Structure 1
Amino acid sequence: MKKVTIIKVGGAVVESPDSLEAFLNNFVHIEGAKILVHGGGRSATAMAERLQIPTKMVDGRRVTDENMLEIVTMVYGGLVNKNIVAKLQCKKLNALGLTGADMNLIEAHKRPVKDVDYGFVGDIDRINTDALMALISQGITPVVAPLTHDLKGNLLNTNADTIAASLAVGLSAECDVDLYYGFEKNGVLKDANDDHSVITSMTTRDFEILKTSGAIHSGMIPKLTNCFDAIAQGVRRVYIGHVDNINHLDRGTHLHD
């Protein structure tokens, strides 16, 4: 069974030249097939400000009207994605920048309006695993921007954590998948103010207990929810930890059922 490593990295890393360079130097040394999923929210907000387009966030999620959809398409699918691809080519790693629309990679639907109308935000329906496998088998590294598409031809802004989990689930039937969420902390922490208080192993039950107690809150909740959703759907190895440790997955938090 083919081994595939999927790394999701946040905008804070890819938007700083120094941190991006350090991350990519580590990324190219991951052995075997790999996929990179990236964010870029800060760059999108900065571009919106330059163009005098207001940014609206609800519970940490970007409301994406028609103007903001144009911004995130330009920034995620263009500026951030192609900057990463160019730097990987410089490091002799053959990469291909993709959105969900390319090769019909990720089909989604516009999120239904409940309490909040998030606009052109997508919830994922299907992953084109054949397309991914075709690229990987040719030694190509997909670099996936957080954009999907629907069957009406609309682009949709889609959470990068969710995309990474969905790609891992889609490939897990055919591949041995490692899924790693890299961010600025050493892992899931017992104490948010102590970077050394890493919880090295966490189950679904642990997550529910820590969430109820308030030890885990805010943006960590949806991130960990994506992790455990992936595990529930067949991804055997999921980790979360510092972006510098992508070559040492066991240094973060190992999530399992």
Structure 2
Amino acid sequence: MIDLFVIKVGGNVLDNAPLLQQFLQNIATIPGKKILIHGGGKIATRIGDQLGIVSNYINGRRITDAATIDLVTMVYGGLVNKQLVAQLQALGCNAIGMTGADANIIPARKRPVKEIDYGFVGDITTKDLHVQPLQAMLDAGLTPVFAPLTHDGKGQMLNTNADTIAASLAIALSAFYKVRLIYCFEKKGVLRDASDDEAVIHLINRTIYQDLLENKILTDGILPKLENAFSAIESGVTEVLIGHADDVLRNTTREVAGTLIC
């Protein structure tokens, strides 16, 4: 029996109003304890363009300079987070908006400069998380909704990958609950053929994963999710599931859709 669902929703769902509305209705319907983590990179890029803040990427990762950390703090922690909270409240789900700085839940370290200076990007060490305030919120019937932001403990906000935040919270909370970590995006799961939305691989373990890598079957975009998934499983999380946002309610039952990581 799963005690807690940690659910991450990607930016492509946030950009699609009908898909997002259905997703939030499903989230509101899930019984028991749940935590939602969201992205919002495309929205930040769009608003940044309007403000004259150019988005720079290296190897698909956003470079977070001084102007950009102000932008993403405003967009992720403000606009996107509070819109999601307000919509969940309208659906009868008592949500509370959070960043990693709130209640000092997710302290992080600014990523060291090596070959690339990523700027104000935060790296998390799971053992540093403080999840007791989350337990109190969950026990009070609240649904925490996390923006992809952490802090360095010295007053500086940091941009942190939402998939990583989801995995880190799931790992830290697995000491107290049986946790299912669910990654929701616009695909039905991990696909054997990226051009065929029905080619879902329903079960992946380490052996199958290595075989998929060696045969170059997986696309680059899914690799970080799988690495986070295996890290979570190997650190105490009961189950990890990757699937379509439309299937989130089904994926809180035993009759799962998508890809189960074990």
Which category describes the TM-score, using the shorter chain as reference length?
over 0.9
Which residue in the other structure is 2:74 paired with? 74
Which residue in the other structure is 2:102 paired with? 102
Q: Deviations over 1:197-246 (max 9, x none)?
A: 11110002222221232111312111111111101101111000111101
The yes-or-no answer on 1:212 pairing with 2:214 is yes
The yes-or-no answer on 1:145 pairing with 2:147 is yes
Which residue in the other structure is 2:61 paired with? 61
Contact residue 171 and residue 236 of structure 2 kept, 8 A: yes
Q: Aligned AA for 1:25?
A: Q
Which residue in the other structure is 2:90 paired with? 90
Structure 1 consecutive aligned stretches of length 4 or more whose deviation exceeds 4 Å? none
- Give the TM-score taking structure 1 as reference length: 0.97
User: What is the Cα deviation at residue 78 of structure 1?
Assistant: 0.3
Q: Aligned AA for 2:199?
A: S
Q: Aligned AA for 1:64?
A: T
Higher strand proportion (structure 1 or 2):
1
Which residue in the other structure is 1:253 paired with? 259
How many Å separate the matches in 2 of 1:17 and 1:191?
27
Matches within 5 A, 1:162-241: 162-241=164-243
Percent identity between the aligned chains?
51
Distance change (3 Å), C-alpha of 1:2 and 1:237: closer
Contact residue 2 and residue 180 of structure 2 kept, 8 A: no
Which residue in the other structure is 1:51 paired with? 51
The yes-or-no answer on 1:157 pairing with 2:159 is yes
How many Å separate the matches in 2 of 1:2 and 1:21?
25
Contact residue 101 and residue 149 of structure 1 kept, 8 A: yes
How many Å separate the matches in 2 of 1:112 and 1:216?
29
Which residue in the other structure is 2:42 paired with? 42
Q: Deviations over 1:109-156 (max 9, x none)?
A: 001112211000000122211011010000000000000001222100
Flag structure 2 segments of 5+ consecutive residues without an equivalent: none
- Give the TM-score taking structure 2 as reference length: 0.95
Q: Secondary structure at the match of 1:251?
A: coil
Contact residue 211 and residue 221 of structure 1 kept, 8 A: no
User: What is the Cα deviation at residue 22 of structure 1?
Assistant: 0.9
Q: Aligned AA for 2:77?
A: G
Size of the alignment, in residue pairs? Answer: 256
RMSD in angstroms over aligned alpha carbons? 1.1
Q: Secondary structure at the match of 1:44?
A: helix
Flag structure 1 segments of 5+ consecutive residues without an equivalent: none
Q: Deviations over 1:12-55 (max 9, x none)?
A: 11233222111101111112110000000000000110011111
